[in-house]
């Protein structure tokens, strides 16, 4: 745990990935503990294209817990955020009380400053809460020296956050216990299991989604008689396409043709590069569609990737030595 002796400051920075479910959880059997009514399976996307970075500092000189998200200070009294903070602090105290000599319980009572940024549009249905809460819990665990199973803690912030604590292909077990202790995530396969798999996110809108995931699921549970008889689509308007490397060029060319955008070249396809391809007149006729200008703003091209990691270079901290956000907090 990095220390700054002049300010009596402990600081850790970590990153965590987005995950997109291929078998979604469609609602909760317990809203407070965020326990799902069904198990789910997801793909963790590569952090080179989509990630959250979080820096957390603690010091005896801090007067209160504070949090900044994408450059703006937010209310830290959010119940889900408090659940994660309180649980990590409880686990840190428990570790010390069981006689672990490496645990520094003194810092657990210190207030924390949290600064978090995304390199993708927030609240637009791209699983920002999953990456955000996973990164929060992972960073707190390193700051306070908490080890072991963390997915049950992250789940209390955002259900799908438990899956973002692992790379590759991840299952979130619904569990059966009423206290939720068996509702945890586990890695099914690593990110190298299916190397030719590619993921395309067709960004229709980067604006905040009109209906949040929690309220949408609540409505589904209350009103749908066909719950879980459904196709999968990520929250918000942005489509997520799973395909193989060999099919990417032709598919992207189809998207370019039928959803022409003002963006060109690398501005239209962001992330992993995709070769160009010719689109046959026969395929155009078979699709029998009229072009929809500006229907898709751009495409994020990515693949399966690893889970959270610690950022070792202190120059990447989002907080300065005073414990406040640096003036320019931008994540490329």
DSSP 8-state code for residue 56:
E
230 found inside a domain: yes
SS3 22: strand
Average pLDDT for 106-124 = 86
Confidence of residue 314 (pLDDT cuts 50, 70, 90): very high
Write out the two tokens for 112.
């924390």
Query: How many domains, the chain?
Result: 1
Which carries the bigger pLDDT value, residue 127 or residue 281? Answer: 281
pLDDT value at position 2?
44
CATH number at residue 104: 3.30.230.10
At 35-57, the pLDDT tens digits run 999 999 999 999 999 999 999 99
**Phi, psi (5° rounding) for residue 19?**
-130, 145
327 found inside a domain: no
Report d(CA 19, CA 316) in Å as an integer: 24
172 found inside a domain: yes
322 found inside a domain: no
Average pLDDT for 307-321 = 97
SS3 78: coil
Which carries the bigger pLDDT value, residue 226 or residue 112? Answer: 112
Which are the contacts of 31, defined by CB distance < 8 A and separation ≥ 6? Answer: 218
DSSP string, 269-315: EEES--------HHHHHHHT----TTS--EEEEE-B----EE---GG
Dihedral of the alpha carbons of 220, 44, 118, 59, in degrees to the nearest 10: 100
Confidence of residue 218 (pLDDT cuts 50, 70, 90): low
Domain that holds residue 68: 3-316
Average pLDDT for 177-206 = 93
80 found inside a domain: yes
Average pLDDT for 78-83 = 96
326 found inside a domain: no
Per the CB < 8 A criterion, the answer to whether 203 and 250 are in contact is no
Candidate from 203-207, 237-241, 294-298 with smallest mean pLDDT: 203-207
């Amino acid at each position: 745990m990095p220390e700054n002796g002049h300010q009596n400051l402990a600081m850790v920075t970590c990153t965590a990935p987005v995950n997109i479910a291929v078998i979604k959880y469609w609602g909760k059997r317990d809203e407070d503990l965020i326990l799902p009514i069904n198990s789910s399976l997801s793909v963790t996307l590569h952090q080179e294209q989509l990630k959250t970075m979080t820096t957390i500092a603690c010091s005896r000189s801090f007067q209160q817990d504070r949090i900044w998200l994408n450059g703006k200070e937010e209310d830290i009294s959010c119940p889900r955020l408090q659940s994660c903070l309180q649980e990590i602090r409880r686990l840190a105290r428990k570790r010390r009380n069981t006689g672990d000599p490496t645990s520094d319980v003194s810092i657990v009572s210190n207030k924390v400053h949290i600064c978090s940024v995304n390199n993708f549009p927030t609240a637009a249905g791209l699983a920002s809460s999953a990456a955000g809460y996973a990164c929060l819990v992972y960073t707190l665990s390193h700051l306070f020296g908490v080890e072991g199973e963390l997915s049950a803690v992250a789940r209390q912030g955002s259900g799908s956050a438990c899956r973002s604590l692992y790379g590759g292909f991840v299952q979130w077990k619904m569990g059966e216990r009423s206290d939720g202790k068996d509702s945890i995530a586990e890695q099914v396969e690593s990110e190298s299991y299916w190397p030719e798999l590619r993921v395309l996110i067709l960004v229709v809108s980067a604006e905040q989604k009109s209906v949040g995931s929690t309220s949408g699921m609540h409505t589904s549970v209350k009103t749908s008689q066909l719950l879980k008889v459904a196709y999968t689509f990520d929250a918000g308007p942005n489509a997520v396409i799973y395909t193989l490397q060999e099919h990417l060029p032709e598919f992207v060319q189809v998207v370019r043709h039928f959803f022409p955008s003002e963006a060109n070249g690398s501005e239209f396809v962001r992330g992993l590069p995709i070769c160009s391809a010719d689109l046959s007149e026969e395929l155009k006729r078979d699709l029998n569609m009229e072009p929809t200008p500006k229907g898709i703003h751009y495409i994020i091209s990515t693949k399966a990737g690893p889970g959270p990691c610690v950022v070792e270079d202190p120059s990447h901290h989002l907080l300065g030595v005073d414990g406040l956000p640096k003036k320019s907090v931008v994540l490329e």
